[in-house]
Chains A and B, each alone.
Chain A
Amino acid sequence: MIRTLATSGRVLQQIRHDPRTIALMLVVPSLLIGLMSWIFTDTRVFALIGPAMIALFPFIVMFLVTSIATLRERRSGTLERLLSLPLAKGEFILGYALAFTLIAILQTVIAVSFAVWVCGLEIQGSLWLLFSVAALDALLGTSLGLMASAFARTEFQVVQFMPLFIFPQFLLAGIILPRAQLPRPLEVFGDWLPLSHAIDALNAIANGTEDSATTASLLVIAAWIIAALIVGSLTLRRRTP
């Protein structure tokens, strides 16, 4: 536990030395949400896709940040050094997950506040639940990013993993076309993807129609997080060729 917190603290310290990254992480989602709401002025579209955008940002940003940060650890030799010390792999991964989830919560608070109070997005349901889903999304991005970094050898590759891991989820989540209208195999596939569930949950919260399906969605996301964290920690090897 102490080592997990030490790792989170170290990751946050690193980010603190990079004010531009902090500014980008905190401001860019609000900028994009603002742009969306401007594009769709006087239509119902923003009310429909606004909640989905809240799900997307923490997910994408945390995926990128985590995959690049862990790739850097692998390449700089710090990971090899850490794994020769009394640090459990789970402690390392949870340390990262914790640090980035904290940032994601901050990011979401800003993005949601901006969407609600500046862009006039209506949230009927619980704001707390909304933040929890966004935090869960961030954790999902972090855990998938950890996993992706294990399969990448270079920064170029890891950036290419973003379209691979994220675009299909985005396309099949029901933002572009409701999932029920997709060809049957794609609908079934989309129903299993975590981002679909995140967007379903956020839509339900926005409309104030949270029910047992929302809870089920959260459980599906949690299952994905746990699975990705386990795969991610399996890819950390104390012994390498």
Chain B
Amino acid sequence: MMNKSACVIVNGLSVKRSKMLVLEELSFALSPGRVIGLLGPSGSGKSTLLRSIVGSQIITHGTVTVLGSSAGDKALRHRVGYMTQAASVYDDLTVRQNIAYFARILGLSATEVDRVIALTDLDLQSRKLAIDLSGGQRNRVSLAIALLGTPDIVILDEPTVGLDPVLRSDLWRLFTELAATGMSLLVSSHVMDEAMRCDELLLLREGQLLAQLTPADLLARTRTENPEEAFLALVGGVGGATPNVARPSPKHRAAGKENQP
């Protein structure tokens, strides 16, 4: 699994926050040029894992290597785009002013601002103040900022939250197109249907990596029809005891109640 061409290598990563173990001994490697979905219920540690890869999380144990450098290294600040879970835009600036400010911080020109505005379909809103936007539009501003300068890796923390199905589908199409240009995208979501749009999945639960596999494998191994059921089956079958291994398990547990490990 660990190969030299991996764009992200996580090795034995543990994160403790106020004495709670948020991430527990995670190890995995991600290949470049793919859309990788990070899926798991709320509170499973997705954001913490993404922040560890960006380098803004204090980690307790283990290493995170991104594009050959340690996560958060100065050399990576031009190469890793990061969209935080909150929209992280200035409410009292227009869409354009928001994006232009971050572009100047990255040393990019006005044409790059135009490019990401067009890419995220914000042309019509570019003169609106961020506070006057809908939740979905704010998210797209945040996404536009993360795409500035075409970074090698883009880390997106729940980018499709609050979007209507049409917009959500548009965004996933954009992610696929970007991956086709060689960009690596790590996208977190707690909506399991989005799993089918990814090239590869990381399934996280209670700070442990349940499985790393393709969407097709997920369905095959759990003998389920859709990712929602598959995830429930997986959670029920593994019980949080053995990370990294997805055991096939019979379909059970209709309700979304999680059992305790």
Contact = CB atoms under 8 A, between A and B. Distances in A.
B227 to A, nearest CB: 28
Nearest to A15: B92
A240 B92 contact: no
A82 B92 CA distance: 17
A18 interface: yes
A17 B72 CA distance: 34
Interface residues of B, number: 32
Contacts of A78: 88-90
A86 B97 CA distance: 19
A239 B90 contact: no
A240 B51 CA distance: 9
Interface in A7-33: 7, 9-10, 13-14, 17-18
Contacts of B145: 81
A84 B80 contact: yes
A77 B86 contact: yes
Contacts of B85: 77
A6 interface: yes
Nearest to A75: B86
A116 B48 CA distance: 57
Given A77-B84, A77-B85, A241 B18 contact: yes
A9 B105 CA distance: 12
A2 B82 CA distance: 22
Contact of B90 (A9, A14, A238, A240): A14
Given A6-B101, A81-B82, A239 B56 contact: yes
Contact of B86 (A10, A76, A87): A76
A6 B105 CA distance: 7
Interface in B30-85: 54-58, 72, 74, 77-78, 80, 82, 84-85
Given A3-B105, A241-B17, A81 B88 contact: yes
Interface in A195-232: none
B57 A18 contact: no
Given A77-B85, A81-B82, 14 more contacts: A3-B104, A6-B105, A17-B93, A17-B129, A76-B88, A78-B89, A82-B102, A85-B102, A85-B106, A86-B78, A238-B56, A239-B55, A241-B18, A241-B58
Interface of B: 17-18, 54-58, 72, 74, 77-78, 80, 82, 84-93, 97, 101-102, 104-107, 129, 145
